[in-house]
Structure 1
């Protein structure tokens, strides 16, 4: 994902954005037109790598979006004991309009979207045989980013009336500086689905460390799950699993984590090396002995959920310095940030098939027992919906799914109902100062 020097990426991304920064001395940046940065096939493809690099930022999929989902959905299963105020406020559900982590998600998210929009506006200079792939990768990145933004800044789809609920601004033109109002939750979801469907149709199942059709299908299945469109989630997961056949497979549970190159189970991961990239999940979850901050402790409530003999129940360790329990999923600071694993697709198909009373691709029991068997557990021949949901919770714990599953299932976390104002990020104050058309979320003032 990052085979081109970071400085080249930043330079071209800077040209795309047409902005200036105190930290870069590009002379004279304001005089270099976007048409120069995006005037050739090679330049557009380099900027596409810049879009992946933007996506991998620590404030985005380099760890903070996943961490923030776990903090919001902690439900007494984990505790944040670090000294950083912004993530602590997210964990406590005491966010304000000046929370820095919240603002960084918004700013970096729209920066990434703008890079994708610039690429999409420049497709005519891309070699004809590569245009569909470049467009598909850009729309995957844009769709994924919009999904993350609406999940955090928009009300839950499960609240109902998504066509009247405020989502996030849909910015579709590059370098837009005009105020854009918040589109409805429904409009944002429709836009995401359109981007992802194009990506699925035009990406290969195997694309190195870049976006592929299986990853796009997995995100689409997540979108449909949030919408409670279980037939859509089932079909997207099944299509992705079909495309994954012969390309991806389940590894051992321990083998799915702390890998410095993608495992056979990694459908999409943020690439980290000793020279480039960050793994903020490791930074916050790992003990100091592993180079982490040790800010997030796993609580007994979570540990008590595992059956005897479940290898996942022993995938924890005691921090020798503090005596706290920590997950073993994030211990290598130079490991990739795992984002989509094949196991998720089996669990999504199992849940969706069960809810629909179907067996598209396989039965819910067979899909469930693939995951149980890998965990060292006996088969569950007659699973209930709660069995499937619990399997999903334990398999994907501390990987960034927590608050989103709580919201779609209309659950609670730390005493807050799924539709509580405190579980929605505030629109950053600086954004509303610039764009007064942005309606603030309920609970954060006018």
Structure 2
């Protein structure tokens, strides 16, 4: 039941009212506040952030108040279409739903990119989120992992790492519905296709969008592309399609398009999102490059975790197997610092995907290709001279004669986040509209 606003005894704190636990929701609360405001009651907006206070055991009410501190930032309102609807079943969508329900924030406030620290998520609320997630997904989630994860999407990825494989299919629906040819997006190095959800939402309702997740047992780009071509043919046996991917995903998308067109399937467009073909470095031997990479990684660990990472560089260079090499490095990292399992898995899969991408030599492709090229220098934790290209086409004009390049504000790691993803979506909608004329 709503109570009238009263001043708390703590300096600068203003109690806004109460709600019956599990009986009222934030929308009803705001509606009743609005009724008071319409009746002429002044409701000054307090500074600070909203916090969910624990209720005493003998009172089943939910108290909302502000801590009186001036807000340091004011998050911009997120468009509603950016947020996965609560009825969607993806891990990210369900996580956004549960966090919004527990914290009282509007669904549009909790997005995959939202920092958990910005939501006022305290330990008691975290327990409630933890309970909801364990009940829905049947996973065991450590509270320290939940509170220590920076963003909603990173927490969703951590949950996905603990889920069973399901039916084993790497095909994921990012946006259903629409009569135009479907868009298939290949995962980037070490990541999932959840990174494309905002782009899929921005493309509108007239085209289904699917993600192609990582296939662990496929160890070359050609092999991955062959598997994806089979999956696409099974899911969409007739008519044209569109393929794309960010970074490493672009390499696989281009090769998949080559294989599909060789099988007489029509591919309307291949979309490369800042996929950089590595430069040949004849002056840098393989051994030196491996040593330089892991020296840079050790510096990153020191900066991030404040510990020295002692690596057996000579042994790493002598190894012929990339999997064994990264296993040894991550084993040393586990000994040196407490690193979440999801972070270790991301480092492992990223390294292996990048090695697969570097070993691939893209073949000639005559179809239409658009490259969305970042215009700013990316803040990579480990820099590699092979990827420091300054040519407009990032090397793709050598194998794709029908290539068009679109420069996009932002850097490699920010292109799929607003506002840059909005620019890509606008340009891509225009490009796809031209294909249908």
Q: Normalization by structure 1: what TM-score? A: 0.27
1 or 2 for the larger relative contact order (CA 8 Å, sep ≥6)?
1
Question: Higher helix share goes to which structure?
Answer: 1
Q: Which has the larger radius of gyration?
A: 2
